[in-house]
Every structure is written in C-alpha cells, then in structure tokens.
C-alpha cells in the first residue's frame, strides 16, 4: 500500500511542478505539511521526494526544506498573431537549450505526413528526429519532415544547430503561418528511450505545420514534451454578453506515424 501511495504522491507533485504550483523561490511545504496535506506517512513523503530529486526535479537545502529546481518546468504562452516556440520559454528561464540529432535520413513519408505536406503518396522526404535538453535534463523529442524541394540545403549538422526551421528561413523559405495542434499522448518505446523515462510516460504532443505565403506547406514537426516539464498557457479576456452554444466536439489528433 505504501508503494502505491508513494506513486500517487509522486504523480501529484509532478503535476504541481508542471503547473508551477509551489511557493516563492520554488519552495514546497515541509515534509510534515506534505504528509498532512496528502494524508500519507513521513516515510512515504520522503520516498516521493527522493524519487523526484533523482529525476532532477527537486533539490533539498539543509535547514530550508525542498525546492523545485529552476529548470524543472517551463511555461510557454500561446502567441496570438505571432509564433513562439519552446526555445524562447527556456531562454527566458536562463537555461541553455541543446539539440542533439538522433536520426537523419531520406525515406518515403507516412500517410499522415504526405497528407499534411500535400505530397503524393509515398513521396520521399527528409526525416530528422532530435532530442532537446534544457540544461542537462531532457525536455522533448522532436520529429520533423521536410519535402525534398526544401530539404536540399539542410545538413545533419545544420539540423542540429541552428535547427531545420531556421535553416529554411535563411534559405528564403518564409513561414507565413504556423498551424498548431495539441494533445495528450504516451511515450512510445523509442521516445521513452530518448527521454530516459519508462514507456507510456505522459507526454504533451504538439504538432506544428509551417506554411508559406503561397499557402503551400514547408515543413511538419511533432514535439513530444515530457508532460511534467512543459505546459502551454493561454489568457482569455472578456466574456460573451449573451448565452452561447456549447463548443463543438474536439477532433482527435493522431500521430502521423508510429514512433518506436
């Protein structure tokens, strides 16, 4: 029973870290207060805290308690009218973002990719999969697809730094619109391996389609962020003066290919 309570507490604290639900300077309640809040023993609290410290999310300060590390979680505001990416959120936190290419090559695109990029079935594309780290800790795995017409100038080294979208921009491919879809997902074995987490760990799946001024797709990317390390934030202003109908149903987002 202790084990399951410890796992539940770990999940609760991961969620709080993801939502930035903690005190000034990243402080958590004392171990005794955590025990009372979650109705678990001091041993269970300590086991959960030690696990989160091992994951790089918490640190303990002698005589001061437990604190969320500065790069444990990042919040990115959803931009209206302009595009922002996780790099800006990480940079604002003063943490270096390092991108390492794990896979680079040309191959026939999966069906979902050809549809998104408006390519004929079986068309060949450049496919790149990379791991991004915020500091020393994994943040997300990004898989990107670029049609051959745009892919020629992108080397493996450039795919790593400065990154595919920046290389495309430097070669005159202006990105006029970014269409973004967001969904919850579970890490496939391959993604879990790169992120150094167990398979099926919750991830935030963010799909981005870059579109040029001529309405033709330029590139497609899928980011799988660790669910407890990244969040997207949006602010709504005002409220309708009159009653409105219930919003329409939400269409499911299906990964463009089976990672793994």
Q: Is 74-233 CATH 3.40.50.970?
A: no
At a CB cut-off of 8 Å and minimum separation 6, what does 247 contact?
A: none
Q: For residues 135 and 97, what is the distance between their CA atoms, to the nearest angstrom? A: 6
Q: Cite the residue boundaries of each domain of the chain with CATH code 3.40.1410.10.
A: 74-233
Q: For residues 151 and 147, what is the distance between their CA atoms, to the nearest angstrom? A: 6
Give the right CATH number for 2-68 from 1.20.810.10, 3.40.190.10, 1.20.140.10, 1.10.10.10.
1.10.10.10
Place of tokens 């430097």: 170
Q: Are 108 and 123 in contact (CB under 8 A)?
A: yes
Q: For residues 160 and 75, what is the distance between their CA atoms, to the nearest angstrom? A: 23
Mean pLDDT in consecutive groups of 10 residues from the start of the chain, 260 residues: 73 75 82 90 93 88 84 58 62 84 94 88 94 90 95 93 93 89 84 91 88 94 87 68 54 57
pLDDT of residue 1: 34
In total, the chain counts a number of residues equal to: 260
Q: For residues 254 and 208, what is the distance between their CA atoms, to the nearest angstrom? A: 13
pLDDT of residue 95: 82
- Report the predicted TM-score, pTM, of the whole model to 2 decimal places: 0.67
Q: For residues 148 and 215, what is the distance between their CA atoms, to the nearest angstrom? A: 17
Q: Cite the residue boundaries of each domain of the chain with CATH code 1.10.10.10.
A: 2-68
Q: For residues 205 and 188, what is the distance between their CA atoms, to the nearest angstrom? A: 12
pLDDT of residue 162: 92
């Amino acid at each position: 029973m202790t084990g399951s309570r410890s796992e539940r507490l770990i999940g609760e604290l991961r969620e709080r870290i993801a939502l930035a639900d903690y005190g000034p300077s990243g402080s958590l309640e004392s171990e005794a207060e955590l025990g009372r809040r979650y109705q678990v023993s001091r041993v269970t609290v300590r086991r959960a805290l030690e696990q989160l410290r091992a994951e790089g999310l918490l640190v303990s300060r002698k005589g001061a308690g437990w604190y969320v590390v500065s790069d444990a979680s990042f919040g990115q505001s959803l931009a209206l009218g302009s595009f922002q990416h996780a790099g800006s959120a990480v940079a604002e936190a003063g943490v270096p973002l390092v991108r390492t290419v794990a896979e680079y090559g040309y191959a026939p695109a999966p069906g979902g990719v050809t549809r998104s990029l408006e390519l004929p079935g079986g068309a060949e594309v450049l496919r790149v999969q990379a791991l991004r780290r915020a500091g020393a800790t994994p943040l997300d795995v990004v898989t990107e697809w670029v049609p051959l017409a745009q892919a020629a100038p992108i080397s493996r080294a450039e795919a790593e730094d400065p990154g595919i979208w920046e290389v495309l921009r430097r070669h005159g491919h202006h990105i006029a619109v970014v269409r973004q879809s967001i969904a919850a997902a579970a890490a496939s074995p391959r993604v879990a391996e790169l992120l150094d987490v167990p398979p099926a760990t919750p991830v935030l799946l963010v799909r981005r389609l870059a579109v040029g001024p001529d309405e033709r797709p330029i590139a497609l990317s899928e980011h799988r962020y660790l669910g407890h390390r990244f969040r997207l934030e949006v602010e709504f202003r005002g409220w309708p003066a009159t009653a409105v109908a219930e919003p329409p149903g939400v269409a499911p987002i299906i990964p463009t290919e089976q990672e793994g």
